[in-house]
Structure 1
Amino acid sequence: MTNTMLNIKVVQPRMMSIRQAADYIGIPLKRFNRICSVRPVALSEGDERYDIRDLDQWLDYLKQGHPDPDDEIVGRLG
Structure 2
Amino acid sequence: MATTNLNISVIDKCMMRQSEAASYSGLPVEHFKATCPVRPVELKQDTLLWDRKDIDDWIENVKSGAVSDTREDILDRL
Q: TM-score, normalised by structure 2?
A: 0.79
Alignment correspondent of 1:27: 27
Q: Which runs of 5+ in 1 are unaligned?
A: none
Alignment correspondent of 1:71: 70
Alignment correspondent of 2:10: 10
Identity of aligned residues (%): 37
Q: Which runs of 5+ in 2 are unaligned?
A: 74-78
Stretches (4+) displaced over 4 A: none
Give the structure with the larger helix fraction. 1
Q: TM-score, normalised by structure 1?
A: 0.79
User: How far does the alpha carbon of each residue in 1:8-60 deviate from its partner, in whole angstroms, 9 at most, with x for none?
Assistant: 11111101111110111111112111111111011222211000111011111
The CA RMSD over aligned residues, in Å, is 2.0
Corresponding pairs, count = 73
